[in-house]
Structure 1
C-alpha cells in the first residue's frame, strides 16, 4: 500500500510540472517573472517607440470560458470592432482568435492535455514591453496568469495595462494577497496612467475589501457599470476594472451567452501634455 501512495505522489508531481507554461523566449522587451518585469519597468521608454495615436481609448475585458461555446468567435469579431485593446482571460491559442487584432501577446496559464489557456492581449498597436507570469492555485496547483504591458504616450509618459486572472480555490486570502501584491508592487514602479482589468475572482467580502484597499492606496478608482451584468458569486462581481490617470468617458457590460462571464467595455480619455505645455485631446 505505501508504494501505491508513493506512485500517486510521483504522478502528482509530474502532473504539476506538466501543467506549467513554457518559459518566455529571451527578449529585451519581455519578461517572465515579477523580478525581471520590475527591471524592465525601471528602464526609460524607448525614444523610437510609436506613441498611442488616439486620446480616446476603447478597451474590452472578458473571461471567454476557454472559447468553449461556438458562438464566441462571432461575438469577439463584433467586439473587436468596438475596441482598440482586448484583455481576455481563459483565452486559448487558437489562430482565429489571436488574429482578431494585428498585435497579440499571450500569457499562458493552465495547460491541459490538448489545450493551452491563459491571458491574451489583442491590440491595434504593439506594446512597448510585455511581462507575463503566473501564480499557482494553492490546492489544485494549477497556474493562473497575469500580464503587464506598457504603451508610450505622446508626452513621453506611458500607459500601463494590467490583466489578471485571480486564483480561486483558497480558504483564506494569503495566496490571493500575494498575487495582488506582486502586481501592485509593479504598478508602484510606474508613475503614469494605469488600467487594471480582469477576472479578479473577488467572490468573498474579504477578497473584495483586499482589492479595494490595495488599489485605493495606489490612487486607483474602480469602474462602475449601469446596468451591471457582470457574473456574481455571493452577490459580488468577479470581473473588475480599475483606472488611474485617465478620465472615464463610458462603461458598459453586455449580456452574452457565449461565455459564463459577460464582457466589460470601457472608453477612457487620455490627456497628454507636450513638453511646451500644449495639451492634446
Structure 2
C-alpha cells in the first residue's frame, strides 16, 4: 500500500481513479480546486496546479501522484489559456514530485497529442494502427499542451531519475453512456472520426492509472490506453477502405478492432482493456 495523491480528483476520471485505488488498498489524498465531492471520506487538499507552492504543499508526504487536473479539451477562443494551464500543470506537478523525492508519477495525456482529433488542418496517418512511435503533429492548443506535457515529463524524469508514465487516453466513457442516443447514433455513422473511433472505458482508464503508479519504469514512457475495439459497429477494414485506402497497415484487421495499438501498455504495465461498448 502506498499513499497516492490524485489531482483533479473531483473530475469524471478522478473519482473513478480514487475508487480504483481504494479498492486496491492504497491510501488516497484528493487534490482539486474545490473540496472533495466523492462519497467516500478521504484526505483532501485544495490546490491550483498552476501554483507551484500550493502543489508542493498538497503532495507533501505522498509516495506517488496521479496527475489528472487540466482543462479537458479545446476552447476555440482560449487556446492560449488551455495550453498554458495544462503545460504549467504538468511542469509544476512533475517538478514538485522530483523535489519532494516522489519518484512515481502518472500523467493524463491524450490521443489528441497525435494531432488528428482536434486538428485545424487535417492530416493523414503515416501508418495504422497508431503506436507510441507514430509521428505526432497537433496544431491546436489542447493537443499541443498534451504533447508538450509529455516532453516536460520526459525531461523531469531524466533530471530526478523518476518513473513517469504519460497515458494517452481517448474519450473516457461511463458504462451508462453507451446507452445514450448520441453514442448509439455514432456507432452506426459513416461520418469520419477525428479520433479514429477510439474511446476508453472509464473503468479501464482508472485501472491503467493504478497500474502505472505501481509499475517500476525507467524514466518516462508514453502509453496508449484505449478500448480494444473501436466505437463503430462498422468493420474497421471497411472504414479504412472508405477513408484511408492508401495508408500502410501493420496488421490485418478483423471485425471492429481499434486503430490504436495498446500492446506496449500490456507488455510493460500489464494493462489489457476489459470493457467494450457493445458488450458491457
TM-score range, shorter chain: 0.3 to 0.5
Higher helix share: 2
What's the TM-score once normalised by structure 2's chain length? 0.36
What's the TM-score once normalised by structure 1's chain length? 0.36
